[in-house]
Amino acid sequence: MAMPMRRTLVALQRATYGNFKNAEVSLDVQHPVPLFLPVRTKKRYFIPPAVGMKGKGEENTEAKARAAGIVFRQQYFERPINIACTAGIFDPYVPPEGDARLSSLSKGGLKQRTEQIRQSAASQLAIRKIKEHDSEFTTKDFSERAQEIFIEAHNCLTQFNKEKLHSLVTERCYPEMTRGNRYKTICWRFLESLEPPRVVHARCPDMVSKGNLYGQVTVRMHSKQTLAIYDRFGRLMLGSEEQPKDVLEYLVIERHLVNPYGRWRLHGKIVPSWAPTKDPVIKTVMIPGPKLKPGEEFDALNYSVPKPEAVQWNK
Amino acid sequence: MLRAGGLTYNPAGGLQVLGGGAQQLSCLHTSASLESKNWERRNLKVYPPQLPNEQRRAAEIHHSRRQIKYSKDKMWYLAKMIRGMSIDEAIAQLEFNDKKGAKIMKEVLLEAQEMAVKNHNVEYKSNLYVAESFSGKGKYLKRIRYHGRGMFGIMDKVYSHYFVKLVEGSPPQMEQKTSFDQAKEYVQSLKNRTIIHGL
What are the structural domain ranges in chain A?
108-270
Report the half-sphere exposure of B180 (CA within 13 A, side-chain side): 0
Backbone dihedral angles phi then psi of residue B108, each to the nearest 5 degrees: -65, -45
Can you give the pLDDT at residue A55? 66
Q: Quick check: is B114 in a domain?
A: yes
pLDDT at A299: 80
Whole-number percent of chain A with pLDDT over 70: 79
Q: Could you tell me whether strands A185-203 and A214-230 are parallel, antiparallel, or unpaired per DSSP bridges?
A: antiparallel
Instruction: Assess B139–A contact: CB distance below 8 Å, yes or no.
Output: no
For residues B195 and B186, give the distance between their C-alpha atoms in angstroms, rounded to a whole number: 18
pLDDT at B125: 92
Q: Are B138 and B161 in contact (CB under 8 A)?
A: yes
pLDDT at position B13 is 43
Q: Is B149 on the interface with A (CB under 8 A)?
A: yes
DSSP, collapsed to helix, strand or coil, labels residue B4 as coil
Q: What is the pLDDT of residue A44?
A: 75
- As a whole number of angstroms, the distance between CA A82 and CA A301 comes to 56
SS3 A280: coil
pLDDT tens string B123-181: 999 999 999 999 999 999 999 999 999 899 999 999 999 999 999 999 999 889 999 99
- Cα separations in angstroms, A216 against A53, A177, A237, A265, A292: 61, 19, 34, 10, 47
> How many beta carbons lie within 10 A of that of residue B53, not counting itself?
5
A vs B, Cβ pairs < 8 A, gives: 82
The DSSP element (H or E) to which B78 belongs, if any, is: helix B72-82
In this complex, is the C-beta atom of B92 within 8 Å of any C-beta atom belonging to chain A?
no
Q: State residue B22's pLDDT score.
A: 44
Cβ B153–A50 below 8 Å, yes or no?
no
Cα dist from B151 to A285, B34, B142, B145, B158, whole Å: 64, 32, 16, 9, 22
Identify the three-state secondary structure at position B80: helix
Nearest CA in chain B to A47: B144
Residue B196 within a domain: no
Q: What does pTM read for this prediction? A: 0.73
Q: What is the sign of the dihedral through the CA atoms of A28, A29, A32 and A38?
A: positive
Q: Which of A100, A196, A188 is nearest to A147 (CA)?
A: A196
Provide the CA B163 distance to its chain's centre, in angstroms: 5
> What pLDDT is stored for residue B18 in this prediction?
44
Identify the CA nearest to B62 among candidates B78, B45, B79. Answer: B45
Chain B, nearest residue to A9 by Cα: B150
User: Does the beta-carbon distance from B121 to A48 stay under 8 Å?
Assistant: no
Residues of B in contact with A184 (CB under 8 A): 46
Confirm whether B28 is domain-assigned: no
Share of chain A above pLDDT 90, in %: 23
d(CA A42, CA A28): 33
Measured between beta carbons, which residues in chain B are less than 8 angstroms from residue A46? 154
**Residue B171, Cβ density class (10 Å: 0-12 exposed, 13-18 middle, ≥19 buried):** middle
Chain A residues with beta carbon closer than 8 angstroms to that of B61: none
pLDDT digits (tens, 9 = 90+) for A236-277: 988 888 999 998 889 999 998 888 888 899 999 988 888 888
* A2-25: average pLDDT: 47
Please name the residue ranges forming H helices in chain A. 11-15, 58-68, 107-119, 121-133, 139-159, 162-168, 173-178
Nearest-CA distance B6 → chain A (Å):
29
Residue A251, SS3 per DSSP: strand
Residue-range definition of the domain harbouring residue B66: 58-169
- A117-169 pLDDT per residue, tens: 556 788 888 888 888 888 888 888 899 999 999 999 999 999 989 999 999 99
Q: What is the pLDDT of residue A182?
A: 86
> Tens digit of pLDDT for each residue in B76-117?
999 999 999 999 999 999 999 999 999 999 999 999 999 999
CATH classification number, A108-270, choose in 1.10.3720.10, 1.10.8.60, 3.10.450.240, 1.10.760.10: 3.10.450.240
Contact A220, A213 (CB under 8 A): no
Cα(B136)–Cα(B153) distance, rounded to whole angstroms? 24
Least Cα separation, residue A150 to chain B (angstroms): 24
How many domains would you assign to chain B? 1
CA distances from B78 to B98, B105, B132, B135, B140 (A): 11, 8, 12, 9, 21
Per-position DSSP letters for A52-114, written without gaps between them: G--PPPHHHHHHHHHHHTPPPPPPPS-------S-SS-SS---PPTTTTTS-TTSHHHHHHHH
Within-domain flag for B153: yes
Using the Cβ of B114 and the Cβ atoms of chain A, whether some distance falls under 8 Å is answered with: no
Confidence of residue A28 (pLDDT cuts 50, 70, 90): low
Q: Burial of B159 by CB count in 10 Å (0-12 exposed, 13-18 middle, 19+ buried)?
A: middle
